[in-house]
Amino acid sequence: MNYDRLKDKLAILADAAKYDVSCSSSGGNRKNHNKGLGDSSVSGICHSYTEDGRCVSLLKILFTNHCIYDCAYCTSRRSHDTPRAAFTVEEVVDLTMQFYRRNYIEGLFLSSGIFKSPDYTMERLVRVAKELRTIHKFNGYIHLKTIPGASDELMQEAGLYADRLSVNMEIPTKSGLALLAPEKNHDDMKAPMKTVQEQIVVFKESRKQHKHAPKYTPAGQSTQFIVGATKETDLQIIRLSSHFYKQYDLKRVYYSGYVPMLTDSRLPAIGTPVPMVRENRLYQADWLMRFYGFEAEEILPSDSPFLDLDCDPKLAWAIRHRQHFPVNIQTAPYKMIVRIPGIGTRTAKKIVTARKFTTLTLDHLKQMGAAVNRAKYFIALRGRNEHLVHLTQDNFRQYILAQTQTKFKDERHGQLTLF
């Protein structure tokens, strides 16, 4: 193995893969059953963090950045003048094994530009996973990209070796995609998701019959949307995510604020700030749908299609629906407790348990991890809660925002420092 060349390839193909935000290694339950290497941790482990504060859990690389497509938003697009490289199957296998042995990573996230044809590309990705599993007895986490247009046989094989499969939708609207990637369309990208979803159901059924039947992508599927490359609204994004969670049973949808790195009249100019606050608010909205029992329609009313950058979507919902408050924490059901701003799912569970033992006070809530500075305006206690007077006042929103701090203050006022 040519070490210097390998180093160059790694630099090029890690650079090209870094805009894919997914790095999750959770949800896998593969055990070290063969005295081989590796054992998946259900919770996932972030082994390091990049200087932009993102988790490094997997060796995230492209197999190659050669690509037959010319999607405007992608650094690997055909017309982009950039150094190109391709790994060999052997190199990817070796890097994964050696990094894993040193406890650098939880496993491999292998994506790829499309070279020659979808099948040709997919076949190589599958071969990497197959060799890791069968020849090297690797039980760590493997996330593979499914290449739209690849044959069903390859997709089926991929799911047997991978813990997770994903296709990135990237551009949330059909019109946006037509503008930036005229060679692609949404239906072609959704097709492999449907195939994978059907396979998951088939394999689950057969596991009910035979306990030892193989598992198919035990950690499910995910996808990603680029935010801010086209004119899509948050309402469109959230509705689309909800559609994917419900219709395709996706485990995760990721949101990636567009980083301008290419000059193209169809795209935001280079130097346009990355929409990090908006991206964060979308993740908060996503969490509300997945863990807090919110419907997409509740998060944004159809007459205001963008999330409020000044306050988180749960607080925004509470301010719009003051008729539901105050919530009595001593008696209210769990599903109402989690809707109180400043109280997360863990604290809500603790509240429901602890209130059987004692009458809860604001101090107790604080000790249990609630953000009392927000929660105190929305809850009824057994004793008097002096903060409730504000709830019915006209300037409630302004009052609350003035009282609470946001870490995004500088960014909202256009003072984001990048370096």
Please, what is the minimum distance in Å from the beta carbon of residue 242 to another protein?
A: 27
In the complex with another protein, which residue's Cβ is closer, 298 or 411?
411
Query: Treating both helix axes as pointing N-terminal to C-terminal, what angle do 276-291 and 234-247 enclose, rounded to 10 degrees?
Result: 40
Residue among 145, 164, 184, 350 that touches another protein (CB under 8 A): 350
The set of residues, in sequence order, having a beta carbon less than 8 Å from that of 168 and lying 6+ positions away, is 20, 145, 223, 224
Residue among 42, 49, 188, 243 that touches another protein (CB under 8 A): 49
Please, what is the minimum distance in Å from the beta carbon of residue 102 to another protein?
A: 5
Which of 28-36, 123-131, 164-172, 370-378 is the region at the interface with another protein (rule: CB under 8 A)? 28-36
Query: How many Å apart are CA 318 and CA 341, to the nearest integer?
Result: 7
Query: How many Å apart are CA 83 and CA 80, to the nearest integer?
Result: 9
Which of 13-21, 72-80, 203-211, 390-398 is the region at the interface with another protein (rule: CB under 8 A)? 13-21
- How many residues bind another protein, per CB under 8 A? 58
Query: How many Å apart are CA 252 and CA 221, to the nearest integer?
Result: 7
In the complex with another protein, which residue's Cβ is closer, 50 or 151?
50
List the interface residues with another protein, window 111-140 (CB under 8 A): 137
In the complex with another protein, which residue's Cβ is closer, 322 or 349?
349
Residue whose token pair is 């990817």: 92
Query: How many Å apart are CA 395 and CA 389, to the nearest integer?
Result: 12
Q: If binding is defined by CB under 8 A, does position 376 make contact with another protein?
A: no
DSSP conformation class of 361: -
Collapsing DSSP to helix, strand or coil, 13 comes out as helix
Which of 92-100, 212-220, 292-300, 379-387 is the region at the interface with another protein (rule: CB under 8 A)? 92-100
Instruction: Answer yes or no: are the C-beta atoms of 393 and 387 closer than 8 Å.
Output: no
Number of alpha carbons in the 13 Å side-chain half-sphere of residue 197 = 15
Q: If binding is defined by CB under 8 A, does position 45 make contact with another protein?
A: yes
Residue among 41, 330, 345, 373 that touches another protein (CB under 8 A): 41
Which of 174-182, 206-214, 351-359, 393-401 is the region at the interface with another protein (rule: CB under 8 A)? 351-359
In the complex with another protein, which residue's Cβ is closer, 127 or 355?
355
Q: If binding is defined by CB under 8 A, does position 362 make contact with another protein?
A: no
Helices (H), 210-255: 234-247
* Identity of the amino acid at 92: V
Nearest to 138 by CA among 203, 86, 199, 92: 92
Residue among 261, 291, 301, 412 that touches another protein (CB under 8 A): 261
In the complex with another protein, which residue's Cβ is closer, 31 or 174?
31
The set of residues, in sequence order, having a beta carbon less than 8 Å from that of 264 and lying 6+ positions away, is 72
Q: If binding is defined by CB under 8 A, does position 101 make contact with another protein?
A: yes
DSSP 303-345: T--S--SSS-HHHHHHHHTGGG-SEETTTS-HHHHTTSTT--H
Instruction: Answer yes or no: are the C-beta atoms of 367 and 387 closer than 8 Å.
Output: no
In the complex with another protein, which residue's Cβ is closer, 73 or 317?
73
Collapsing DSSP to helix, strand or coil, 144 comes out as strand
Which of 213-221, 317-325, 330-338, 349-357 is the region at the interface with another protein (rule: CB under 8 A)? 349-357
The set of residues, in sequence order, having a beta carbon less than 8 Å from that of 197 and lying 6+ positions away, is 221, 248, 249
Residue among 71, 229, 368, 370 that touches another protein (CB under 8 A): 368
Q: Which residues bind another protein (CB under 8 A)?
A: 3, 6-7, 10-11, 14-15, 17-19, 31-32, 35-39, 41, 43, 45-56, 59-61, 95, 98-99, 101-104, 137, 259, 261, 274, 276, 350, 353-354, 356-358, 360, 364, 367-368, 418-419
